[in-house]
């Protein structure tokens, strides 16, 4: 692992420390996990934008999504 320096304002640092205590983690672990989650969300947004662009270029017919919608539907209880 590499050591870096990050500058946080006091309010953000206090919030991070409170969250770390609540999760029983140290500050570094909290920041690593937060950064991983943020990067994962950025990647997801990039993939969604790519998919939207592709579907806008080649629109689907309404009937194309019927099988997918049935597969994705929540099971009834």
What pTM does this model have? 0.65
pLDDT at 77 over 60: no
- Residue predicted with more confidence, 21 or 69: 21
Per-residue DSSP letter, 25: -
What are φ and ψ of residue 40, in 5° steps? -60, -45
> Could you tell me the two tokens for 13?
């640092």
Instruction: Give the start-to-end residue ranges of the domains of the chain.
Output: 1-59
Q: Measured between alpha carbons, how far is 20 from 27 in angstroms, rounded to an integer?
A: 6
Q: What is the pLDDT of residues 8-32, one digit of tens each?
A: 999 999 999 999 999 999 999 999 9
């Amino acid at each position: 692992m590499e050591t870096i320096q990050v500058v946080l304002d006091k309010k953000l640092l206090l919030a991070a420390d409170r969250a770390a205590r609540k999760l029983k983690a140290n500050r570094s672990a909290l920041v690593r996990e937060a950064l991983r989650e943020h990067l994962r969300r950025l990647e997801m947004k990039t993939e969604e934008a790519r998919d939207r662009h592709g579907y806008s270029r080649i629109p689907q017919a309404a009937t194309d999504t019927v099988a997918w919608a049935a597969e994705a539907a929540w099971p009834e209880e």
